[in-house]
Amino acid sequence: MNANPILLQKKYARVVELFAEENYLSLDDALAFFYESKVYELMREGSSDMHCMSDQYLSKDLSEEYERERRM
């Protein structure tokens, strides 16, 4: 399923903002991580309808990916 590109961009913005707040990151740092993340890739491709998940769910998923990356 393909999402409307404008709505998807707004979704990205909300998720990144929430992710930044929850992880005490600047918006620039949060955005840079987001665009390199698996979460972004899955949302962009429409895999498993990730773009249909709640902002909180996606932010949590992104935070978990962020923590895994920091441990490496």
Q: Which domain holds residue 12?
A: 5-71
The stretch 6-15 carries a mean pLDDT of 95
Is residue 43 a contact partner of residue 51, using CB atoms and an 8 Å limit?
yes
Confidence label for 23 from pLDDT (cuts 50, 70 and 90): very high
Rounded CA-CA distance 22/15 in Å is 11
Share of the chain above pLDDT 90, in %: 75
pLDDT at residue 46, as a whole number: 79
Number of domains in the chain: 1
